[in-house]
Structure 1
Amino acid sequence: MDSITGTSLYPSHRCKTIHLVRHAQGIHNVAGEKDYDAYNSYDYFDAHLTSLGWQQVDNLHKHVHVTGLSKRIELVITSPLLRTMQTAVGVFGGQGYADGIDAPPLMVEKAGNSDRPAISSLNCPPFIAFELCREHLGVHPCDKRRSISEYQTLFPAIDFSLIEADEDILWTADTRETNEHVAKRGMEFMNWLWTRKEKEIAVVTHSGFLYHTLSAFGNDCHPSIKSEICKHFANCELRSMVIVDRSMLGSDSATTNFRGKIPSGLDLPSDVAAEKHLVN
């Protein structure tokens, strides 16, 4: 970092752009605001989106198309819970699905207590469900997922191959995951992103996961930037950020760099050539 200007310079192939999205409003959000104890109720098991949540999804869907994000995103990663997958396919999926098209829908009609039509997977980036970006694990039934086999019938075009167990073996009824462990899991997730070849990725996840993961970043920035990175996400909020590989974690080489002409000599700039002339 330049001590005068406060700016930093990094090779572009050691950076990725990530578009972080918190899921839209779920039924547990509404109930929990009225009575915190509702989070302990199985009435909100694997909470689905509210009608307002679907309106939020529609608004963000329009935004990513108007801004051109929909054409730039190469991959969508989603937490494997109903509310995040509904948000992911609603925001980044295609328009209406039609029978007879040789592509499975991202979401079938009326999936997860919704009145929504099926959502197409045509002209969309691939979608991957990944456990590392789940919400706090344990105690709250809204954060317990269904079986993968059940999800596959609801979201046929989402790739669930990275999830090892059909049933939810990570969630426990009596122990809530600590903030520190969520942050550690978040860093594992961020490091995993570097194993992906895609350079522009959308991640649809949860408020707690985002807050505790992002709190580890921005300590070398101006306090206002640190605050911008770490503040809590609203329902269906999207923030675009760039992550930088400072430790050679990534192995990809630059694809846009060009060496230029190969001269017969060193083809040095004049000041460097003058220095070498004086030495000799």
Structure 2
Amino acid sequence: MDGGPDPSLYPLHRCKTIHVVRHAQGLHNVEGEKNYKAYLNPEYLDAPLTQLGWQQVDYLRKHVHASGLSKRVELVVTSPLLRTLQTAVGVFGGESYMNGMNALPLMAANVGNSGRASISSLNSPPFIAVEDCREHFGVHPCDKRHNVSEYQVLFPAVDFSLIESDEDVLWKADVRETTEELAARGSKFLNWLWTRKEKEIAIVTHSRVFWFIH
């Protein structure tokens, strides 16, 4: 071997750098990790982050800024569930939003009873919500999203244009998506990702989605 580069490697201009982030602790995770049946509780519909979850967001945000990643990421792709939206804008969004700013807020104040101030989109990358990187569809109320029209009020600067239905028509109360269906959805998502012009992208998603993004 001559020690030269492996000719099978893709050239850099054909590569993307993908940063995959699992959402911070959600309200449903607290009891669900003790008893799996807790995920069936309708009180956890589209569960928001806990206070510990927000602490995790703050910690990751500090790392993202200290490492310079906040200046390199060109696009943030997020699952359209409350816990992922909160994580995405909390980690990669701007500073606190103030009236008179020449930019829409990424998140309104106190979303999900978080007690958090509004987050600005100023000097942040664009954010886009994509159904195909959502958690497993069906049965668990925590995995059912709110209407897009509600999200657009809570997250004004997030782009929801790729979501075709206002209501969540993908989640079924009595049918859980199969592993094969989830894998096919993951493949579709990755194919879409390759169509994007951005070279460095952050994806904020769920634990079950991790296995097909590698």
Displacement, 1:9?
Answer: 2.3
Cα distance in 1 for residues equivalent to 2:193 and 2:34 = 37
What's 1:15 paired with? 15
Q: Structure 2 matches for 1:168-247, cutoff 5 A?
A: 168-211=168-211, 213-214=212-213
- Amino acid in structure 2 at the alignment position of 1:165: S
Q: How many residues align?
A: 212
Displacement, 1:33?
Answer: 1.3
Structure 1 spans left out of the alignment, 5+ residues: 215-228, 230-280
SS of aligned partner of 1:112: helix
What's 1:107 paired with? 107
What's 1:273 paired with? none
What's 2:66 paired with? 66
What's 2:162 paired with? 162
- Amino acid in structure 1 at the alignment position of 2:82: L
- Amino acid in structure 1 at the alignment position of 2:120: S
SS of aligned partner of 1:208: helix
RMSD: 1.5
What's 1:96 paired with? 96
Give the TM-score, by structure 2 length: 0.96
- Amino acid in structure 1 at the alignment position of 2:158: I
SS of aligned partner of 2:204: strand
Cα distance in 2 for residues equivalent to 1:71 and 1:20 = 16
Displacement, 1:142?
Answer: 0.2
Cα distance in 1 for residues equivalent to 2:5 and 2:146 = 47
Over residues 233-265 of structure 1, what are the superposed CA-to-partner deviations in whole Å (9 max), with x where a residue is unaligned? Answer: xxxxxxxxxxxxxxxxxxxxxxxxxxxxxxxxx
SS of aligned partner of 1:10: coil
SS of aligned partner of 1:21: strand
Displacement, 1:6?
Answer: 9.9
Displacement, 1:103?
Answer: 1.1
Change (3 A) 1:192 1:6: same
Cα distance in 2 for residues equivalent to 1:184 and 1:6 = 33
What's 1:242 paired with? none
Displacement, 1:40?
Answer: 0.6
* Structure (1 or 2) with the larger CA radius of gyration: 1
Cα distance in 2 for residues equivalent to 1:60 and 1:100 = 28
Moved over 6 A (4+): none
Cα distance in 2 for residues equivalent to 1:161 and 1:100 = 26
Give the TM-score, by structure 1 length: 0.73
Displacement, 1:176?
Answer: 0.4
What's 2:145 paired with? 145
Structure 2 spans left out of the alignment, 5+ residues: none
